Amino acid sequence: MAKKIESVQLPFSVALQIVTQGIRVRLGRSLVTLFGVLLGIMFFSSVLTSHLIKVGVADEDRTRAEANRMANILEAELGYSMDGRVGVIVSGELDASEQRLPRLLTRRGIQTFAFDDPAPSGVGRDGERVDILLIMGSESMNHDISGLPQVPIAVTRSSSEDTPRADVPMLVSLTRELSPGELERREAEERTARYRLTWIVAIALVVTLMGITNAMLMSVTERFREIGTMKCLGATRRLVRRIFLLESLIIGGGGGIGGALLGALFSIIFHGFLYGFPQVMFSINLPVLMGFILLSAVSGVVLTVVAAVYPAGIASSMLPSDALRSNV
Amino acid sequence: MTAFSTEKFQQMIEPGNGDIIDHVIRAVGLTKVYRMGSEETHALRGASMEAKRGEYLSIMGPSGSGKSTLFNMIGALQKPTTGRVYIDRVDIAQLDTEELAWLRCRKIGYIFQTFNLIQVMTCLENVMLPMAYAGVDEEQARENAIEKLQLVGLGHRLLHKPAELSGGQQQRVAIARAMANNPAIILADEPTANLDQKTGEEMITLLDDLKKKFGVTIISATHDLKMLQRSDRILWIDDGRIVRTARPDELDFSSTEFH
């Protein structure tokens, strides 16, 4: 025997080569496993994307309804004069419906212009006539209105509890206040939706995990003899475990990435037919969608590797003599 | 990664009286008890044997005699319940799994009744596999593997998959694979049982050549008369014990015990 014995080791590239070769030759089985992962992750990804689209579409609907409602009030305040002019003051951050409001008013034939503030007394910057002043944004209700022209003022964020101000001829609140019942109902709805989503996602993940474990176990049992042979030839436990984990990593990577992309795509197409593509495209929050796709793909890889830990453990701890004797 | 250190290696060496020991395998008082619930099965009841360097040893025994168990133990595939196995004077009971893998990789070549080639690999890759485990670089391994396959007369079948070869050719690949890391011992478990007579004889000749050429020790479990006749020694095992040892020239192969 040699004086100094190097350890039995296998370069990573060789393990990778064995694995890719194995996948290629057992392509049928590998594809079935891969499709198992793919379908599970596709479901997962489509559930997440659907949720995102639904929330987006609902938000979009709410924003539109809100902007319309505010425009309606302003229109009513202006009366039927066809050349109503609205001076817009922005104070603080605008929300989505406030951003839409000026455009919406213009579309309805109401002129809007940015009203300089503080303004010279009486009129707008260029001495233009103003019929109503619209103060928008998160700071609108705290906006200093002294020194503004003596015209009706509409504020988007004021509440009815704000004290009426004697110095202003007319203060119009555009805020819609939800009744406690309405608020409660909305919260309950959101809670139910969240529970349902969590439940469906959990089921999808568990089913995927079981499916992959089963497929990997099959992959181990049908290779008992091969594993035994490899062990007789000097493969260590570590190597055998590594081969199975690597295989699951490749399958999980393929199935995870494919499933995440396909699931999102499927969901977008489905909702596109349901709500119309422009609506869906417009209401998707792209960074969040990317995040969900990434999450799905990573879940696919992690699930597959976790599912393979047990079968890989069985394979690696098998005695070579037992592995050879099996007639699987 | 585990590495054998010289000190550890020294500790594992079989105690001896300083004489030159020329045996490559020595098994002492091996017992093996399998427990199935409350039932105990004694597969081995104190079997001892040894094989000299460059010896061609055959083990005979009816099924259930403990032949496979003995075979697995001297091949470091299974641990005995009691007793010791020394391979190249190292007590293999003291080796951990990594060290056993090392031993299987470089000291022992295995040949199986069912060939056990990795079906998904070509002949060349099958022969390269043990070298990959041994850390031989790929170019070197390829060169060695081609040489080994030429040695067994399959230089023209390098890139074939096992399924495309005949039984005899598959067993030749298995022999080339067993020889890959130039082991000291080749363990052959009924190597000719799945082959027709003529192919079996070719296999025996091939093993004999390897023995002469490389001084490798060959131990085979077999019932093949041709194989027994070519052996240097034959061991009989029955009911977990070695009951008889003989040289072929002491035996009458026409007697009923061989038929």
Find the CB nearest B1 among A9, A22, A233.
Answer: A9
Give residue A264's pLDDT band: very low, low, confident or very high (50, 70, 90).
very high
Cα–Cα nearest to B96, from A316, A242, A236, A2: A236
Find the CB nearest A236 among B3, B101, B106.
Answer: B101
What whole-number percentage of chain B has pLDDT above 70?
91
| CA–CA separation, B59 and B75 (whole Å) | 13
Residue of chain A with shortest Cα separation from B116: A229
Two tokens at A269? 């197409």
| Res A290 pLDDT > 90 | yes
Find the CB nearest A5 among B97, B102, B177.
Answer: B102
Shortest Cα distance, chain B CAs vs residue A316, angstroms: 11
Cα–Cα nearest to A85, from A66, A102, A67, A65: A102
| CA–CA separation, B99 and B105 (whole Å) | 10
Please list every residue in chain A whose beta carbon sits closer than 8 Å to the beta carbon of residue B11. Answer: none
Shortest Cα distance, chain A CAs vs residue B229, angstroms: 28
What integer pLDDT is reported at residue A291 of this predicted model? 94
Give residue A2's pLDDT band: very low, low, confident or very high (50, 70, 90).
very low
In sequence order, what E strands does B12-120 have? 23-36, 39-52, 56-60, 82-87, 90-91, 108-111
DSSP code for A127 = S
| CA–CA separation, A263 and A44 (whole Å) | 7
Residue of chain A with shortest Cα separation from B133: A10
Shortest Cα distance, chain A CAs vs residue B110, angstroms: 7
Is the CB of residue B208 less than 8 Å from the CB of residue B226? Answer: no
Is the CB of residue A212 less than 8 Å from the CB of residue A311? Answer: no
Two tokens at A123? 């009129």
Cα–Cα nearest to A46, from A264, A325, A290: A264
Q: In this structure, how many other beta carbons lie within 10 angstroms of the beta carbon of residue A281?
A: 13
Cα–Cα nearest to B94, from B81, B79, B73: B79
SS3 B236: strand
SS3 A173: strand
Per-residue pLDDT of A156-187, as tens digits, reads 776 555 555 555 556 777 777 777 888 888 88
Give residue A256's pLDDT band: very low, low, confident or very high (50, 70, 90).
very high
Residues paired with B59 in a beta bridge: B221, B235
| CA–CA separation, A101 and A113 (whole Å) | 12
Give residue A108's pLDDT band: very low, low, confident or very high (50, 70, 90).
confident
User: What order do you get walking across the sheet with B241-246 strand by strand?
Assistant: B108-111, B185-189, B217-221, B56-60, B233-238, B241-246
Instruction: Give the position of tokens 């075979």.
Output: B71
| Res B194 pLDDT > 70 | yes
Span A58-68, mean pLDDT? 86
Across chain B, mean pLDDT equals: 85
Is the CB of residue B1 less than 8 Å from the CB of residue A7? Answer: yes
A26·B120 Cβ contact <8 A = yes
Distances, alpha carbon A218 to alpha carbons A29, A175, A213, A321, in Å: 9, 63, 9, 20
Greater model confidence, A142 or B73: B73
Please list every residue in chain B whose beta carbon sits closer than 8 Å to the beta carbon of residue A319. Answer: 77-78
| CA–CA separation, A140 and A142 (whole Å) | 5
| CA–CA separation, B192 and B198 (whole Å) | 10
- Chain-centre distance of CA A3, in angstroms? 61
Shortest Cα distance, chain A CAs vs residue B139, angstroms: 13
Mutate to test the interface with A, among B115, B120, B123 (most CBs of A within 10 A): B120
Cα–Cα nearest to B210, from B183, B234, B189: B183
Mutate to test the interface with A, among B53, B72, B77 (most CBs of A within 10 A): B77
What's the CA angle centered on B113, arms B109 and B119, to 5 degrees?
80
B182 sits in which H/E element: none
Greater model confidence, A211 or A69: A69
Is the CB of A324 inside 8 Å of chain B's CB atoms? yes
User: What order do you get walking across the sheet with B82-87 strand by strand?
Assistant: B39-52, B23-36, B82-87, B90-91
Q: In this structure, how many other beta carbons lie within 10 angstroms of the beta carbon of residue A148?
A: 22
Beta-carbon pairs below 8 A across chains A and B = 103
Amino acid found at A73: I
| CA–CA separation, A72 and B73 (whole Å) | 92
Span B51-62, mean pLDDT? 90
Please list every residue in chain B whose beta carbon sits closer than 8 Å to the beta carbon of residue A4. Answer: 3-6
Residue of chain A with shortest Cα separation from B107: A1
Per CATH, the homologous superfamily of domain B52-76+95-258 is: P-loop containing nucleotide triphosphate hydrolases (3.40.50.300)
Please list every residue in chain B whose beta carbon sits closer than 8 Å to the beta carbon of residue A3. Answer: 6, 9
Amino acid found at B188: A
Greater model confidence, B238 or A162: B238
What integer pLDDT is reported at residue B2 of this predicted model? 40
A7·B112 Cβ contact <8 A = no
Shortest Cα distance, chain A CAs vs residue B255, angstroms: 32
Give residue A1's pLDDT band: very low, low, confident or very high (50, 70, 90).
very low
Shortest Cα distance, chain A CAs vs residue B245, angstroms: 26
Burial class (CB in 10 A: 0-12, 13-18, 19+), A42: buried
Lowest mean pLDDT among A31-35, A172-176, B172-176, B247-251: A172-176
Domain ranges of chain B: 52-76+95-258
Find the CB nearest B78 among A21, A234, A321.
Answer: A321
How many CA atoms lie less than 13 Å away from A138 in the CB half-sphere? 5
What whole-number percentage of chain A has pLDDT above 70?
84
* Dihedral Cα A96, A98, A102, A105, nearest 10 deg: 100
Name the B residues in 33-92 with CB < 8 Å from any A CB: 72, 75, 77-78, 88-90
Shortest Cα distance, chain B CAs vs residue A208, angstroms: 28
Q: How far apart are the first and last CA of chain B?
A: 50
A225·B116 Cβ contact <8 A = yes
Please list every residue in chain B whose beta carbon sits closer than 8 Å to the beta carbon of residue A317. Answer: none
Domains and CATH numbers, chain A: 12-60+181-325 (no CATH), 70-179 (3.40.50)
What integer pLDDT is reported at residue B1 of this predicted model? 36
Across chain A, mean pLDDT equals: 80
What's the CA angle centered on A318, arms A312 and A321, to 5 degrees?
145
B220 sits in which H/E element: strand B217-221
Two tokens at B168? 């005899």
Is the CB of residue A151 less than 8 Å from the CB of residue A133? Answer: yes
Q: Where are the alpha helices (H) located in A120-179, listed in sequence order?
A: none
| CA–CA separation, A196 and A304 (whole Å) | 25
List, as one string, the DSSP characters of A83-126. Answer: T-EEEEEE-S---HHHHHHHHHHHHTT-EEEEPPSSPPSSS-TT
Contacts of A292 by beta carbon, 8 Å cutoff, 6+ apart: A45, A48, A49, A52, A264
Mutate to test the interface with B, among A227, A231, A233, A247 (most CBs of B within 10 A): A233
Q: Give the long-range contacts of residues B62-68, CB within 8 A, separation 24 or more.
A: B62/B238, B65/B237, B65/B238, B65/B239, B65/B240, B66/B32, B66/B237, B66/B239, B66/B240, B66/B241, B67/B221, B67/B237, B68/B189, B68/B221
Span A282-302, mean pLDDT? 91
